[in-house]
Amino acid sequence: MPEDGSRLHVEAKKIPELVPPAVLFPYNKMGKSASGIACDTSDGKFGPFAGQLFVADQSHSTLMRVDLEKVDGLYQGAAFPFRRGFASGNVGVEMSPRGSIFVGGTNRGWGSVGRRPFAVERLDWTGKTPFEIQHMRLTSDGFELTFTEPVDVDSARDLESYKMTTYTYEYREQYGSPEVDHTTPTIQSASVSDDGMTVRIVVDGLQLGHVHELHADGLRSKSDVPLLHKEAYYTLNRFK
């Protein structure tokens, strides 16, 4: 039996059948009530996120984005904010063949940021590509960040452009858990690919079983645009 008050990654080592979640959505930072999931099967009709997942949150009336990879047989990856301002509490999500996302919402029985009692809304890509972190992938010594547009080399190489913290949660009988076991890894270097689309950051202090919360507030695109969403939350279940 799992030990109450332990950590999920610790108990998973003891119990092979206990599979950790591919991603954790930090409470209140990303949402409070994750709900419907849709995979981007549009082959580019919905922008530069083909194959990624879009996850609704009922309480925050938002849509979150998830980029997964498989490491040592387990899925893990990064969660990003995507869109907010929906009219009701998002529950159901569906990707249409034409590349639209339909979101159905209600706040009946629960509160939500969107105040309408119910709503069905359609989200389309305008054709304009936002400056975003497209992928956040683990490396043996840090992370590789791929962007939707080329980065400004100076800001991308500047270590002050990035901040990272890590934390995990208690695996316990009680409902929920606060963030625990906080650490502050050191970002030692940042190198930019020749095409400017990828930045590799070397990180001292990666933590197994932790959410790695990255803020890239200082980063700008080659066209001098800041990131639309500056935060990423990578759940590390296995090292490379």
Domains and CATH numbers, the chain: 1-30+129-240 (2.60.40.1220), 31-128 (2.40.10)
Rounded to the nearest 10 degrees, how much is the dihedral formed by the CA atoms of 6, 8, 10, 16?
A: 130
pLDDT tens digit sequence for 129-170: 999 999 999 999 999 999 999 999 999 999 999 999 999 999
Q: Which residue has the tokens 């919402």?
A: 105
**Confidence category of residue 180, pLDDT binned at 50, 70, 90:** very high
pLDDT tens digit sequence for 210-240: 999 999 999 999 999 999 999 999 999 999 9
pLDDT at 37 exceeding the cut of 90: yes
Question: What local confidence, expressed as pLDDT, does residue 110 receive?
Answer: 83
pLDDT at 92 exceeding the cut of 90: yes
Of 64, 85, 75, give the one whose Cα is nearest residue 231.
Answer: 64
Note the pTM of the prediction, 2 decimals. 0.97
